[in-house]
Structure 1
């Protein structure tokens, strides 16, 4: 059976997102979501090279809340590139509601931070500055690991394996993602 017949809803996504995951994408996402039918299955299509992981987590939270509040079935369709923050957003969808188009690539990596600590002034202030930076890194690692667990939940990928591959930017081709159970199918 052709995939188009098997998954007819995926051919006409209700929400189409493309570009950098940022506040502008979030506004576009909310506008399209607000315009969606109030009942029935929704399809969200995404193509992105990445962006702000906190915006991706916000969009993911909107999906989670809609699924929990309304009991809606919401499907994810990754197209061409689902990198970085895109994978964070995809993690909001259960594995059995994730799809990729042929030749799509996922890319999962560790969060990145760029920060300088300027140590100048009273000694106690230096300790506070160092502790604040350390807490930021520690919390970012915890958030990253929550996201990694969400990505692999229900798949054949072990959390430890993902953590091991993420520092080197793990690229996963669509069929491999399906075979690993990270998505339900490739269309």
Structure 2
């Protein structure tokens, strides 16, 4: 069987994925979140809901918030939610993907995931009485440490149920780990490629 025939056969196993109820594209930001919530409200109120995304990344907290909406939908209504990554699922898009169990994640052929560490750009200015300066430094250190904990929680969610260990992701993330669709499937990060 040719690769094209094999991929066509896979696609016919998942007919719901052909017409996602929620279709997201562009930066993961406030506008995407507003669009996501409206499309989720407009989706049929019963049966599985399919969410597709194409993104080069964006705000990881928005990705986490959309993921929480999916978890709440699943936990409080019992509805199945399926994830379909198309073309590019980078950064905050992968954060959103982590809200779906690996057996509910799919990628289209040629899609790439990009997993990396959270980024921070900050300038720290020390002004004032010396006795106040340690508090400024401790506050920034607390921010960094808390962000690392959030990042680690997200990494554990991405790899849960896959063949990728937390340690492998943690070691590869500083260099922007690009994972093509077939490798993601073979490593169990997604159920299948269509």
TM-score strictly above 0.5: yes
Unaligned residue ranges in structure 2 (runs of 5+): 1-7
- What TM-score, normalized by structure 1, do the two folds share? 0.99
Residue equivalent to 2:116:
109
1:178 matched to 2:185:
yes
Distance in 2 between residues matched to 1:115 and 1:124, nearest whole Å: 22
Cα offset for 1:124? 2.3
1:97 matched to 2:99:
no
**Is the partner of 2:95 in helix, strand or coil?**
helix
Distance in 2 between residues matched to 1:23 and 1:128, nearest whole Å: 32
1:122 matched to 2:145:
no
Cα offset for 1:125? 1.9
Deviations 1:27-46 (A, max 9, x none): 00000001011110010000
**Is the partner of 1:2 in helix, strand or coil?**
helix
Runs of 4+ in structure 1 over 3 Å off: none
1:47 matched to 2:54:
yes
- What TM-score, normalized by structure 2, do the two folds share? 0.95
Deviations 1:103-151 (A, max 9, x none): 0000000000011110111112211110110000000000000000000
Distance in 1 between residues matched to 2:50 and 2:131, nearest whole Å: 53
Distance in 2 between residues matched to 1:142 and 1:56, nearest whole Å: 16
Unaligned residue ranges in structure 1 (runs of 5+): none
C-alpha RMSD of the superposition? 0.7
